[in-house]
């Protein structure tokens, strides 16, 4: 029995020797305890065999030994089963470990990142070959044993040394760092690096460095930064103010033009809410239009008066996902010019209406209708549009007299509006002439005739044949259309020139608008010698050269000059440029700026000057007295006819209180003047005025308001027609016969001798 046990024992020990170290240690401990028990039993058995007297005890021990043998056999069987399961588990673990190591090796070799293990002294122990060759162009054997800092850019070495020193002091992952390394072909590669100090880990015992190639990202960022800087340069040098707002209405960018307009440091506004910084704008069109652009996601363009700066602004706002981009420019000068033109046009229109009311020597067709629409007067030209005679049409409506249907329809559409508003109406239409059957064009003017109390008692209709004018206008519109298209596609252009050491100019870049304005491409003026080039007007070239020769530092310059376009056209440019000064060379090395085509503005100025001259000449030539009176009743205008009628010279009355009002008429004059300043017109009102010699003159007075560029009434213009006894005697000598009801209606208000003589011949 002992032999059998020992045989099983030896077989068990052989199986244990084949186990992994961990399981072998576990089973060896149990076997050692079992071996000690067997040795003890064997010793007891041997001692019992020597004592025959103790056979009883031997049998008892033999029985005990049998029980223990059964127990040990069961224990050995369990151990054999555990041993078999351990072998299977060991095999699975070994296969998984082999597979994991293979996968890890594949990942490391094909990783897009360069993984490097370096020693504490900075020498390279290992690197993944595929990434090393792809990123730096080296084989692993070329870099193993070399120092990690060998290929670093000289400018990045100090930063790496400081980073590596901190890394050695503190185990674990360090923050990322960026540096450049030289490739095998000599190029520089930007790397983003994360290092992990694992010197304390016995399985690594080194520093693991993960390097990612970020060269493309760096180059893209540099290109983007350069592009953004060019945009900023353009925005800083355009003639318009520009700022951007985020979705919270906070300033994110403001160019210098906008800051100058607001008279504020732009750094103080960045990040601030526009409505908090400019609360007065929250109650104006600015607020409504900018909110409209954001809420509806549409671009808006509008003009508004900015009261804090006393200026007019033209605003263009463009929404985006980030917020709002706003361009604005000061158009105060343009508004003043427009208001001046509007004032002149208004004055000319009022004078035209006045002359059309009192004169009948015009070829225009004139009709007068009472409030019920019945004809009370028609001139000879008006009779051409009806087949009836003058004697049978008075007191009838336009429908009854056979007026052209197109004109009747237009008249009916305007009649009620005229009576309701009391304002003159002017329009144009076409109609078929009842006598010729041809299509004609006419302008149709309805003017109210007021009583002394200011009520509308009649309406004057002026029908002017504009057929020839329309033909000319059609040709003019065709010409203007071509000009407008050309004007609409022009805009400011920006440019940049380099000044070379030999004092020649080289064009660096120009925006496309330059070609649209001048006809030249940027390549055609790449080395034009600006400003000595031929496309600068000879009379302005010297001025530009003097500006450039007087430069001594970086500065901003503004000038206006003329150019010849490629087609030979002369255009005006407003040029705002920034000089780039090199302190080391003590000279200007370049200039960049923006130009605006102001040709149209120059033409408007010339037209305004011409219009003023025409108006002044008209007033000087009028046969009636024209007197301008300011709001303080001081004389501002006194034409030659006023000198002849009232006796005072212009130098005697200008700037002084109007001297022609008799003492007994002061109260009436003050009341009438007050109503005139309120906008009420006076038309052929009879009154008495005083001449320089003290004699009284009966006159008829008509007035119209004088307005400021802002539209405010600043005084009145008074037109006097003399109707004194002396004047009537003079007229009687030149007019034969008496006026009757068949005479033109204007003879009730005005006597013009030369017209009367002509009508009586």
Higher-confidence position of 240 and 666: 666
| Strand, helix or coil for residue 316 | strand
CA 156 to chain centre: 42
Give the pLDDT band of residue 638 (cuts 50, 70, 90).
Answer: very high
The whole-angstrom separation of Cα 284 and Cα 272 is 19
Give the pLDDT band of residue 586 (cuts 50, 70, 90).
Answer: confident
Tell me what pLDDT residue 487 has: 43
Distances (CA, A) of 421 to 130, 311, 625, 711, 713: 89, 33, 31, 20, 21
Give the pLDDT band of residue 685 (cuts 50, 70, 90).
Answer: confident
Tell me the pLDDT tens digit for each residue of 396-415. 888 888 888 888 888 888 88
Contact criterion met (CB below 8 Å) for 438 and 431? no
pLDDT at 95 over 70: no
SS3 content of the chain, % helix, strand, coil (to 5): 45, 25, 25
Averaged pLDDT for residues 718-746? 49
Task: Write down the H helix ranges in 124-208.
Answer: 129-135, 140-143, 157-169
* Stretch among 206-215, 517-526, 595-604 having the lowest mean pLDDT: 517-526
| Strand, helix or coil for residue 662 | coil
Which tokens go with 125? 């122990």
| Strand, helix or coil for residue 737 | coil
First-to-last alpha carbon distance for the chain, in angstroms, is 175
Tell me what pLDDT residue 743 has: 40
Averaged pLDDT for residues 50-58? 57
Helices 332-358, 599-621: crossing angle, 10 deg rounding:
30
Higher-confidence position of 112 and 276: 276
* Stretch among 67-71, 119-123, 509-513, 650-654 having the lowest mean pLDDT: 67-71
The whole-angstrom separation of Cα 283 and Cα 139 is 72
Task: Write down the H helix ranges in 111-212.
Answer: 129-135, 140-143, 157-169
Comparing CA positions, the residue from 735, 647, 642 lying closest to residue 693 is 647
Contact criterion met (CB below 8 Å) for 448 and 424? yes
Comparing CA positions, the residue from 190, 187, 189, 186 lying closest to residue 176 is 190
Tell me the pLDDT tens digit for each residue of 331-381. 888 888 888 888 888 877 777 666 555 555 677 888 888 988 888 888 877
| Strand, helix or coil for residue 144 | coil
Averaged pLDDT for residues 206-225? 80
Task: Write down the H helix ranges in 250-389.
Answer: 256-262, 274-277, 285-296, 332-358
146 phi/psi in degrees, rounded to 5: -80, 165
Which tokens go with 37? 């028990």
Mean pLDDT for the chain?
78
């Amino acid at each position: 029995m002992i032999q059998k046990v020992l045989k099983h024992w030896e077989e068990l020990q052989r199986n244990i020797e084949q186990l992994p170290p961990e399981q072998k240690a576990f089973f060896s401990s149990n076997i050692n305890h079992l071996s000690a028990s067997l040795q003890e039993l064997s010793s007891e058995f041997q001692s019992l065999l020597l004592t025959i007297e103790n056979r009883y005890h031997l049998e008892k021990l033999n029985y005990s030994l049998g029980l223990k043998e059964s127990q040990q056999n069961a224990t050995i069987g369990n151990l054999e089963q555990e041993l078999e399961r351990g072998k299977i588990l060991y095999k699975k673990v070994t296969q998984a470990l082999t597979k994991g190591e293979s996968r890890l090796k594949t990942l490391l070799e094909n990783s897009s990142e360069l993984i490097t293990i370096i020693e504490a002294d900075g020498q390279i122990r290992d690197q993944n070959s595929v990434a090393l060759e792809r990123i730096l162009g080296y084989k692993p054997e070329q870099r193993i044993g070399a120092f990690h800092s060998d290929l670093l850019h000289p400018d990045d070495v100090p930063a790496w040394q400081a980073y590596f020193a901190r890394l050695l002091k503190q185990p674990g992952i360090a923050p990322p760092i960026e540096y450049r390394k030289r490739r095998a072909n000599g190029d520089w590669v930007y790397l983003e690096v994360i290092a992990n100090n694992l010197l304390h880990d016995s399985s690594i015992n080194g520093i693991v460095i993960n390097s990612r190639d970020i060269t493309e990202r760096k180059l893209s960022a540099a290109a983007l930064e350069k592009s953004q800087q060019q945009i900023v340069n353009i925005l800083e040098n355009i003639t318009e103010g520009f700022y951007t707002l985020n979705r919270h209405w906070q300033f994110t960018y403001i160019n210098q033009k906008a800051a100058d307009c607001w008279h504020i440091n732009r750094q103080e506004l960045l990040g601030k809410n526009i409505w908090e910084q400019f609360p007065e704008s929250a109650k104006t069109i600015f607020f409504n239009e900018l909110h409209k652009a954001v809420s509806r996601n549409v671009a808006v363009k509008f003009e508004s008066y900015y009261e804090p700066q006393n200026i007019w602004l033209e605003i263009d706002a463009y929404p985006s996902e980030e917020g709002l981009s706003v361009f604005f420019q000061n158009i105060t000068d343009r508004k003043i010019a427009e208001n001046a033109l509007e004032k002149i046009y208004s004055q000319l229109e009022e004078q035209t209406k006045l002359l059309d009311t009192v004169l009948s020597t015009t070829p225009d067709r004139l009709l007068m209708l009472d409030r019920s629409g019945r004809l009370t007067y028609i001139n000879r030209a008006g009779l051409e549009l009806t087949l009836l005679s003058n004697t049978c049409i008075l007191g009838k409506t336009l429908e009854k007299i056979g007026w052209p249907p197109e004109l009747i329809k237009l008249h009916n559409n305007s009649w009620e509006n005229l009576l309701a508003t009391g304002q003159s109406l002017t329009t144009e239409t076409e109609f078929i002439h009842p006598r010729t059957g041809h299509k004609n064009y006419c302008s149709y003017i309805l003017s109210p005739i007021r009583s002394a109390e200011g009520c509308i008692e009649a309406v004057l209709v002026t029908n002017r044949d504009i057929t020839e004018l329309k033909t000319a206008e059609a040709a003019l519109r065709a010409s203007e259309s071509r000009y407008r298209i050309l004007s609409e596609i022009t805009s400011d252009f920006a440019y940049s020139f380099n000044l070379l050491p030999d004092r020649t100019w080289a064009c660096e870049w120009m925006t496309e608008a330059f070609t649209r304005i001048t006809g030249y491409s940027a390549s055609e003026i790449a080395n034009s010698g600006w400003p000595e080039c031929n496309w600068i007007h000879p009379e302005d070239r010297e001025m530009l050269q003097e500006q450039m020769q007087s430069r001594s530092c970086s500065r901003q310059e503004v000038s206006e000059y003329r150019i010849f376009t490629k087609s030979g056209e002369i255009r005006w440019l407003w040029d705002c440029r920034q000089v780039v000064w090199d302190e080391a060379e003590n000279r200007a090395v370049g200039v960049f700026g923006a130009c605006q085509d102001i040709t149209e503005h120059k033409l408007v100025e010339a037209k305004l000057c011409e219009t003023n001259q025409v108006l002044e000449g008209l007033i000087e030539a009028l046969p009636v007295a024209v007197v301008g009176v300011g709001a303080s009743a001081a004389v501002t205008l006194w034409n030659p006819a006023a000198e002849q009628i009232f006796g005072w010279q212009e130098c005697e009355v200008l700037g002084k209180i109007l001297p022609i009002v008799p003492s007994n008429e002061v109260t009436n004059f003050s009341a009438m003047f007050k109503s005139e300043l309120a906008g009420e017109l006076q038309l052929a009102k009879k009154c008495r005025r005083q001449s320089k010699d003290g004699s009284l003159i009966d006159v008829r007075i008509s007035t119209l308001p004088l307005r400021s560029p802002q539209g405010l009434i600043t005084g009145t213009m008074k037109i006097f027609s003399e109707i004194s006894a002396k004047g009537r005697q003079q007229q009687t000598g030149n007019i034969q016969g008496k006026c009757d009801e068949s005479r033109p209606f204007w003879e009730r208000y005005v006597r013009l001798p030369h017209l009367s003589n002509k009508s009586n011949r």
